[in-house]
Amino acid sequence: MTKLKNQVIILTGASRGIGAATAIELAKNGAKVVLAARNAESCASVAETIKNADGDAFAISCDVSDFNAVESLVSETINHYGSVDTLINNAGIINPIGQIEETDPVEWAKNIDVNLVGVYHGIRAVLPHFYAKGSGTIINISSGAAHNPLEGWSAYCAGKAGVYMLTRATALEAGPRGIKVMGFAPGVVDTDMQVSIRASGINRVSELPRSSLAAASEPATALAWLCTSEAADLAGEELSIRDGDFRKRAGLTTLPM
């Protein structure tokens, strides 16, 4: 399991769910993982799990909506490991869930700050380093909500739609300069976010039974594979975990018909 040996990977939203599972999977594949999230204690716990399994990781508290914090994240990573090879923009929130006229404008704007502006902050902070070394990979976590509106999710859908276009714009600018940029939709996964969604009772996603949700290990496996050279030809693409060809290449089982 050394496909990512000595690769330095920054992962935001790494304290739980898809982020925590991905951090562990990256380390299993030999990567040096920098775990970032607002909850420093949870991040440190995941990092400790990795170290106990002879992996290499450290945790940093970081609010992606604060550019100075994200810039410090990149600087601390370079100071610690000497470089950065990949950035996975995974941090995201679902709230506020509700009809537009009932949502709190401050909470709505906070969603955009985390889900969209936070992704921009990560890209903005890491690109100068990537350009200087002539290589690097950026993976932005996308969603089906970027392309299909869902009742009660106006902020989340708008933010993820913005991430989709930001991914394309970054690929257009950075691709010719040797930077691989991808969007990845992980599907409906059994995480704490889904607990909030089910509790809301709004739209069809909230009605999905927990038994139908994918384990976090699925997108974790896919993300680890996307960080390898085997996925280089997918640069510039918006990828979905539900795509059969993609699943096969990433080493995932075929979805039932």
At 36-73, the pLDDT tens digits run: 999 888 999 999 999 999 999 999 999 999 999 999 99
Confidence (pLDDT) at 126: 98
- State yes or no: pLDDT of 2 exceeds 90: no
CB atoms within 10 A of CB 210: 9
- State yes or no: pLDDT of 189 exceeds 90: no
* Closest among 110, 160, 120, 125 to 34, alpha carbons compared: 125
* Amino acid found at 189: V
Confidence (pLDDT) at 208: 73
> Are the C-beta atoms of 54 and 83 separated by less than 8 Å?
no
- State yes or no: pLDDT of 234 exceeds 60: yes
Domain boundaries, the chain: 8-248
pLDDT tens track for 100-115: 999 999 999 999 999 9
Question: How sure is the predictor about 254, in pLDDT bands with cuts at 50, 70 and 90?
Answer: confident
Token digits for 34?
Answer: 């920098």
The mean pLDDT value for 76-93 works out to 97
Catalytic hit among 81, 120, 156, 164: 156
Region 8-248: CATH code: 3.40.50.720
Q: Which residues face 182 on adjacent strands? A: 139
Can you point out the beta strands (E) in 154-209?
179-185
- State yes or no: pLDDT of 230 exceeds 80: yes
- Angle at alpha carbon of residue 216, lines to 150 and 142, rounded to 5°: 40
Confidence (pLDDT) at 187: 86
Active site residue 156: yes
> Are the C-beta atoms of 196 and 135 separated by less than 8 Å?
no
- State yes or no: pLDDT of 209 exceeds 90: no
- State yes or no: pLDDT of 136 exceeds 80: yes
Share of the chain above pLDDT 70, in %: 97
Share of the chain above pLDDT 90, in %: 84
Determine if the pTM surpasses 0.85.
yes
Q: What is the DSSP letter of 16?
A: S
Q: Is 225 helix (H, G, I), strand (E, B) or coil?
A: helix
The mean pLDDT value for 192-217 works out to 77
Confidence (pLDDT) at 219: 95
